[in-house]
């Protein structure tokens, strides 16, 4: 996960708690997070490359810079790392989206894919001029991706007449550039039934929050049998021992036990589910949801020693999970410790 603007402190160290507070407060009007931070991001990107990370996810919201432009700028500064651009449908015409995606691919030697989000907050969507309901947004996302995929199949001019989009003799000369000659990978995220269907019909990978392997196994098997990959979003706390990791996790709990940023995502099933996981905060010995009622399911945390964490990743691999998008507090320290301590153990198996 690419850090927010200004999150990467180039001078001096941050505690995990400072890093977490910075991210929580990034949605306030006084935060420097909405300003692009090429210096901090480049530093993080180089560490991520060295750690063996394949891609960074660049999130989309009205609180942040546009992820397309960020990927393009950062892609000039680093030469190996790939970028997963999160985007909402309903913000631009699919033809324009394809032209932008293709241009950024050509400017970064094919290092882009995208994560389509149907939109998790109706208030935020209305601020972008989008007034559809949750289910209608998925119906539109289906059409949106169908048009995009038609361009990427490259079988001549694109004609499409749907309920939400209409394109006549669409043509974009700039091709999608990729290292394997294929069209972009499409991550579809969400826990709702329409998001799952969208992942199958138009996506290459279904992106969900991490859960206990036993609960995920049938879901993952279903997705894999439909030919799409499964990617889990999780946060990571890695310390020499499990006890130390738990101590760090506890330090992240807000002083105000009622603090919540979930209210901002009123229209997301994933966030509604997250808000309901009160009480039992351990999904298993390593998977902790103590922060989820406050900040949502993407704060689901895998914690423990390097050995324990490596075992958990292997467990997920066994049930068919193919990818992970990880974040931590601070982002730079987490990526370093993951690359140094955890990844070698996983590769050895």
User: Under the rule (CB under 8 A), what is the footprint of other proteins?
Assistant: 27, 29, 31, 33-36, 38, 62-66, 68-70, 72-73, 76-77, 90-96, 99-100, 102-104, 106-107, 123, 126-131, 157-158, 165-175
In the bound complex, what is the minimum distance in angstroms from residue 203's beta carbon to other proteins? 22
Give the nearest distance from C-beta 212 to other proteins in angstroms.
36
Single out the residue of 42, 40, 49 nearest to residue 5, CA to CA. Answer: 40
Shortest distance, position 156 Cβ to other proteins, whole Å: 11
Q: CB of 107: closest distance to other proteins in angstroms?
A: 5
CB-facing half-sphere around the CA of 211: CA atoms within 13 A:
17
Least CB distance from residue 311 to other proteins, whole Å? 40
Please give the DSSP secondary-structure letter assigned to residue 322: -
Return the number of the residue (15 or 99) whose C-beta is nearest other proteins.
99
CB 178 within 8 A of CB 110: yes
Q: Which residues pair with 116 in a beta bridge?
A: 87, 188
Nearer to other proteins, 90 or 184 (CB): 90
Q: Which is nearer to other proteins, 169 or 180 (CB)?
A: 169
Closer by beta carbon to other proteins, 6 or else 290: 6
Decide if 71 contacts 85 (C-beta within 8 A): yes
Task: In angstroms, give the least distance from the CB of 88 to other proteins.
Answer: 9
- Closest among 248, 209, 247, 232 to 20, alpha carbons compared: 248
Using the minimum distance from each CB to other proteins, give the nearer residue, 106 or 219: 106
Q: How many CB atoms lie within 10 A of CB 116?
A: 27
Largest CA distance in the chain: 61
Identify the DSSP state of 60.
-
Nearer to other proteins, 5 or 290 (CB): 5
Q: For the chain, how big is the Rg over CA atoms in Å?
A: 20
Q: Is 54 within 8 Å of 82 (Cβ atoms)?
A: yes
């Amino acid at each position: 996960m690419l850090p927010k603007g200004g999150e990467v402190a180039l001078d001096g160290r941050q505690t995990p708690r400072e890093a977490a507070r910075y991210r929580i407060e990034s949605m306030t009007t006084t935060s420097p997070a909405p300003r692009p931070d090429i210096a901090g991001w480049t530093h993080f990107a180089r560490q991520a490359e060295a750690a063996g990370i394949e891609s960074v996810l660049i999130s989309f919201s009205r609180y942040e810079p546009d992820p397309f432009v960020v990927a393009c700028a950062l892609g000039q500064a680093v030469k190996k790392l790939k970028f997963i651009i999160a985007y909402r449908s309903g913000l631009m015409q699919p033809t324009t989206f394809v032209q932008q995606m293709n241009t950024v691919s050509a400017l970064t030697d094919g290092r882009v894919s995208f994560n389509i989000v149907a939109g998790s907050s109706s208030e935020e969507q209305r601020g972008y001029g989008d007034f559809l309901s949750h289910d209608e947004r998925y119906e539109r996302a289906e059409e949106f991706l169908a048009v995009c995929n038609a361009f990427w199949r490259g079988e001549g001019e694109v004609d499409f007449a749907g309920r939400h989009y209409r394109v006549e003799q669409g043509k974009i000369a700039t091709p999608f550039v990729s290292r394997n000659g294929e069209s972009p990978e499409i991550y579809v995220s969400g826990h709702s039934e329409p998001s799952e269907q969208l992942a199958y019909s138009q996506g290459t990978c279904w992106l969900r929050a991490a859960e206990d392997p036993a609960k995920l196994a049938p879901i993952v098997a279903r997705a894999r049998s439909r030919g799409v990959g499964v990617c889990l979003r999780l946060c990571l706390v890695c310390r020499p021992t499990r006890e130390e990791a738990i101590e760090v996790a506890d330090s992240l709990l807000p002083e105000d036990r009622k603090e919540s940023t979930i209210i901002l995502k009123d229209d997301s099933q994933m966030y509604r589910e997250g808000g309901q996981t009160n009480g039992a905060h351990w999904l298993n010995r390593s998977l902790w949801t103590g922060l989820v009622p406050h900040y949502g399911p993407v704060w689901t945390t895998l914690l423990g020693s390097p050995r324990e964490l490596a075992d958990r990743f292997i467990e997920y691999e066994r049930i068919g999970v193919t990818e992970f998008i990880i974040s931590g507090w601070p982002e730079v320290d987490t990526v370093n410790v993951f690359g140094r301590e955890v990844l070698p153990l996983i590769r050895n198996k």
